[in-house]
Amino acid sequence: MDETSERNAVLIFIAPRAHKFAVVGNKAIHQKCGEHFWQRVVTAMHHCFRQDKFTEGIGGAIAVIGDMLAAHFPRTATSSNASGLYFPLRSEFLKLRRWSLGLRRWT
């Protein structure tokens, strides 16, 4: 997440057993959309999760975040991840506090 050249990575972290989740945005995407956007995403996910609509909550968050990314960071041939959406998971993801925008319990 730290290694994206555009600093626009977003991570949706879900801990099912703990009934917690977090939506984490890197520096550039957070500057473009602001705190209110992230709170809306987290609130919508929380509402869906409380109704056991996990697929709807996650899918809705991905769609809204994807639209925001597309609006502010259009994909180009030189994009750092032009071949796909996957970045290898590594221990650096444990440094999330710097960008954590919502850790919510859904029960």
User: Residue 5 has what pLDDT?
Assistant: 74
11 versus 100: the higher-pLDDT residue is: 11
Cα separations in angstroms, 104 against 37, 39, 62, 72, 96: 16, 11, 17, 27, 15
End-to-end CA distance of the chain: 29
Per-residue pLDDT tens over the stretch 62-73: 999 999 988 988
| Stated pTM of the model | 0.71
Residues linked to residue 100 through DSSP beta bridges, in sequence order: 24
Question: Is pLDDT at 105 greater than 90 in this prediction?
Answer: no
